[in-house]
Amino acid sequence: MLRAVSGCNRSSGPLISTDMIAPEQAEPRASTSFSGATSPAEKTDADADGDPSYEIVSPDQADGVEMWRLAVESQTLDANSRYAYVLWCRDFAGASVIARRNDGRAVGYVTGYLRPERPHTLFIWQVCVDPVARGAGLAGRMLDAVWDRTAQDAATDRMETTITPDNESSIRLFSSFARRHDTTIEREDLFGPDLLGDEHEPEHLYRIGPIAAEKVDNT
């Protein structure tokens, strides 16, 4: 998941072992160019139509094809089959969201699931935002929406994802999530070339948490 296009920055040397880091430490140094995403300096309007007020909802099966389209158009993510996204929307809608503009067009999605052996851990598989909608906090809002739902429905207390070392926008997105939730990140090797082949960047596991439950004010 979260695969970045080739020819981008890569960390050198052997893969990292488990380390616990503050969100700031996970982030790349002020930088360089970002792969597959608009840089902040280039971020102008959040949406070509000028309306950043997106509806963020659980997907239904008909949304699978829209997710597939966004994944293909991103040219960054591993685009899976249409079938995979439709199936995802059937079985994992409770841990996924889709974002729509006023005119109904899908402009982003998050796919996730609760890990069968760690049901309080939300694993985020893919996050995708249409280039026209980037730079306005939509990915962060979608992550928060998925998180809030699973925290409420399944008492999740940790989030996991995998990120290739050159996907700096993704690292920043998840570091920002950890910061908002006042928690830390553990980072370790997960899938290397032995499993993914030489053409695929290694995937590092980011484990975020523990994340305290939101206090509900009933007064």
Do 144 and 180 contact (CB within 8 A), yes or no? yes
The rounded distance, in Å, linking the Cα atoms of 22 and 175 is 8
CB of 208 to ligand COA, least distance (A): 12
Residues that bind ligand COA (CB under 6 A): 2, 34, 36-40, 74, 76-77, 127-129, 134-140, 167, 169-170, 172-173, 176
Give the nearer residue to ligand COA in terms of CB position, either 9 or 176.
176
Beta strands in the chain (DSSP E): 19-21, 55-57, 97-100, 106-115, 118-129, 158-163, 185-191, 203-208
CB of 185 to ligand COA, least distance (A): 14
Give the nearer residue to ligand COA in terms of CB position, either 129 or 208.
129
Give the nearer residue to ligand COA in terms of CB position, either 121 or 167.
167
CB of 52 to ligand COA, least distance (A): 10
Give the nearer residue to ligand COA in terms of CB position, either 149 or 174.
174
CB atoms within 10 A of CB 55: 11
Do 108 and 54 contact (CB within 8 A), yes or no? yes
Strands across the sheet with 203-208, in order?
19-21, 185-191, 203-208, 158-163, 118-129, 106-115, 97-100, 55-57
Give the nearer residue to ligand COA in terms of CB position, either 11 or 155.
11
CB of 169 to ligand COA, least distance (A): 4
Give the nearer residue to ligand COA in terms of CB position, either 25 or 155.
25
CB of 143 to ligand COA, least distance (A): 8
CB of 173 to ligand COA, least distance (A): 4
Residue 213, classed as helix, strand or coil, is coil
Buried b (16+ CB within 10 A) or exposed e, 69-83: bbbeebebbebbeee
